[in-house]
């Protein structure tokens, strides 16, 4: 007699390989740790070799599978070379990014090019290099683009950042449609403010911290752990029918 109760899809990722960009610290390192704890052999990529090597070593000390790759994702040639070497990656977490907040009327071309170059151009061509390899080898895969709640709403003093993250959300949807026939799923994660080395200085401003907490309906800033579960879910078979969407981890910020 057939069992009428289906089995829950596994969140385990044993036997898979993942590349996480911007993984030397903060959110990227947390995502790499989460994937490794789920069984992935993870490659941590970042510009600073010493930082990313130390991060990978820390994961290995925990008994996890982790390698380091010194890589500037703005160098498309280096990215393509990394994707072409060794066995193909099954999972890409496009996490590397930056922000240069300030009034719209004071925004400079230099800051615009910096933010858009890393948050959009590098994300686009890193995903392209990843997908090209998988398509050519008929290999299924998962792309997770690290977006932001600011990819869904606007915010004063963050015009460049909002523009870049809205672009990531549109790119995610378009890529998902085009890559679905190749069994490559594409999603984004859109966190609220997460306490990381990049964001911590903002919260030294008491007014900014108070305003931020008032907008997050659950009443607290995000923690790295809040995103770790999201990245494992989207990478796993539990999300087998999930593509072209954004998992918003924002404590309710965008609900109103």
Q: What is the pLDDT of residue 200?
A: 83
Q: Find the mean pLDDT for residues 20-24.
A: 97
Q: Can you read off the two tokens belonging to residue 46? A: 């970042």
50-78: per-residue pLDDT in tens? 999 999 999 999 999 999 999 999 999 99
DSSP for 149-184, written as a single string = GGGTS--TT-HHHHHHHHHHHHHHHHHHHHHGGGTE
% of the chain beyond a pLDDT of 70: 99
- Other residues' Cβ atoms within 10 Å of the Cβ of residue 91: 23
Residues with a known catalytic role: 161
Q: Can you read off the two tokens belonging to residue 206? A: 């008491």
Residue 202's Cβ-side half-sphere holds a number of Cα atoms within 13 Å equal to: 20
Q: Can you read off the two tokens belonging to residue 130? A: 């990843």
- Other residues' Cβ atoms within 10 Å of the Cβ of residue 134: 22
73-114: per-residue pLDDT in tens? 999 999 999 999 999 999 999 999 999 999 999 999 999 999
State yes or no: pLDDT of 1 exceeds 80.
Answer: no
DSSP for 36-104, written as a single string = HHTT-EEEEEES-HHHHHHHHHHHHHTT--EEEEE--TT-HHHHHHHHHSSSPPSEEEE---------G
Per the prediction, the chain carries an average pLDDT of: 96
Question: Is the CATH number 3.40.50.720 carried by domain 17-250?
Answer: yes
128-137: per-residue pLDDT in tens? 999 999 999 9
Please state, in angstroms and rounded to a whole number, the distance separating the CA atoms of residues 187 and 230.
11
CB 69 within 8 A of CB 20: no
Please state, in angstroms and rounded to a whole number, the distance separating the CA atoms of residues 227 and 221.
12
Q: Find the mean pLDDT for residues 19-35.
A: 97
């Amino acid at each position: 007699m057939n069992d009428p109760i289906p089995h829950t899809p596994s969140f385990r990722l044993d036997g898979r390989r993942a590349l996480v960009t911007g993984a030397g610290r903060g959110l990227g390192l947390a995502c790499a740790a989460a994937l490794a704890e789920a069984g992935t052999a993870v490659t941590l990529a970042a510009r600073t070799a010493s930082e990313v090597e130390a991060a990978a070593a820390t994961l290995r000390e925990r008994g996890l599978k982790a390698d380091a790759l010194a890589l500037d994702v703005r160098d498309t040639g280096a990215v393509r070379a990394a994707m072409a070497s060794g066995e193909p990656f099954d999972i890409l977490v496009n996490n590397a990014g930056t922000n240069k907040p300030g009034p719209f009327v004071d925004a400079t071309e230099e800051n615009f090019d910096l933010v858009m170059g890393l948050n959009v151009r590098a994300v686009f061509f890193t995903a392209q290099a990843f997908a090209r390899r998988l398509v050519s080898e008929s290999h299924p895969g998962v792309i997770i683009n690290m977006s932001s709640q600011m990819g869904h709403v606007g915010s004063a003093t963050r015009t460049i950042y909002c523009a870049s993250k809205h672009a990531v959300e549109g790119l995610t949807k378009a890529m998902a449609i085009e890559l679905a026939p190749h069994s490559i799923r594409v999603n984004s994660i859109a966190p609220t403010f997460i306490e990381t080395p990049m964001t911590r200085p903002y919260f030294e401003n008491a007014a900014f911290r108070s305003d931020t907490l008032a907008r997050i309906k659950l009443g607290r800033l995000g923690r790295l752990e809040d995103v770790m579960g999201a990245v494992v879910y989207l990478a796993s078979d539990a999300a087998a029918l999930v593509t072209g969407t954004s998992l918003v981890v924002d404590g309710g910020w965008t609900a109103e």
